[in-house]
Structure 1
Amino acid sequence: MAVIQANANDVRLLARLMRAEAEGDGELGMLMVGNVGVNRVRVRCLDFVDINSIERMVWQSPGGFEAVHYPYFYQRAREKEIRLAQRCINGERFRPAEFSLWFFRPEGACPAQWWGQWNAGRYKSHCFYSPTQSECPDVYRTY
């Protein structure tokens, strides 16, 4: 059962984002990027109060994703990534991104904080950041 509303176009859009942002980190890395995207659609807090669809999440500006500025993002979604995107939409969560709303790829170690948010952990090249429960209780809500 889906935890956010998504039609076939939404699933393909999320799949393209996941691949463009984290293909180098493998399937698990792409799933974690998918978690961040789905979390941004699910919550109504911080920078994401008005982000109520996958399309709005992907194209959010400011605060969106760097990948949308590069040609690789605009390639057709592949079946592999579509299946991964659907898993995230269906509510699968993966540590350390399960409650994260942000990620980035630092040159070195993950900073303890990034834009005032606490580091939840690292997976390969990406550091994931989660709000506190008092800042954004929605992200910690179970399905």
Structure 2
Amino acid sequence: MGTGVIPMAVINAPESHVKLLARLMRAEAEGEGPLGMLMVGNVGVNRVLGDCLDFRGIRNIWQMVFQTPGGFEAVQKSYFYQRAREKDIRLARKAVRGERYSPARYGLWFFRPVGPCPARWFGQPHSGRYKSHCFYIPSPADCPRVYKF
């Protein structure tokens, strides 16, 4: 696909950023299978789209992945720095094109608790659980851009 921007994407994403998102999705949720990885991709894309709350000023995937504070623990692990696999890149392209999956459809946060998902996390409501990950969404009033497409 070269180094161009993904066609019909909901966020601008050069191929290098798509590969970065693929690495993040794998590092955060490989054990959750393709759907779990796509949900992590949904959260990442929503953070770029949202320009709200903790993610104001995030304009691209690179800024989202390496945001400090508030980024992802996976970037501190060696497995994050493995080369992106083609199957993971295909999943990342789906996320960048706007394919969304519940409970991460409008999610901006997720985490893996030891037990049940709390009803709220840092004040945000729980939208659902997929396997080991709990997902949390902003209110439409706080982050309207996340809900627009």
TM superposition shift of 1:73: 0.2
Residue from 81, 93, 108 that aligns with 1:101: 108
1:56 & 1:72 partners in 2: Cα distance?
A: 20
Partners of 2:95 and 2:57 lie apart in 1 by 20
Which of 74, 84, 93 does residue 86 from structure 1 map onto?
93
**CA distance in structure 1 between the partners assigned to 2:50 and 2:142 by the alignment:** 11
Instruction: Tell me the SS of whatever aligns to 1:120.
Output: strand
**How far off is 1:43 after superposition?**
1.1
Aligned to 1:13: 20
State the identity as a percent.
Answer: 66
Tell me whether 1:125 sits opposite 2:132 in the alignment.
yes
Structure 1 stretches of 4+ with a deviation exceeding 3 A read none
* Aligned pairs (5 A) from 1:42-57: 42-57=49-64
The offset of 1:7, in angstroms, is 0.8
Q: 2: CA distance between counterparts of 1:30 and 1:125?
A: 12
Q: Distance in 2 between matches of 1:42 and 1:13?
A: 17
Query: With structure 2 as the length reference, what TM-score do the two structures score?
Result: 0.94
Deviation at 1:135, TM superposition (A): 1.3
What is the aligned residue count?
A: 142
Whole-angstrom CA distance in 1 between matches of 2:127 and 2:72 = 19
Aligned to 1:74: 81
Q: Deviations over 1:80-132 (max 9, x none)?
A: 00000000000100000000000000000000000110000000000000011
Taking structure 1 as the reference length, what is the TM-score of the superposition?
0.98
- The alignment partner of 1:139 has SS state of helix
Long gaps (5+) in structure 1: none
Distance 2:143 2:65 in 1: 20
Residue 22 of structure 1: how far off its partner (Å): 0.2
One-letter amino acid matched to 1:84? L
| RMSD over equivalenced CA pairs, Å | 0.5
Give, as a single letter, the amino acid of the residue that structure 2 aligns with 1:80.
Answer: K
**Residue 121 of structure 2, aligned match among 114, 118, 131:** 114
Give the deviation of 1:20 after TM superposition: 0.1
Does residue 34 (structure 1) correspond to residue 69 (structure 2)? The answer is no
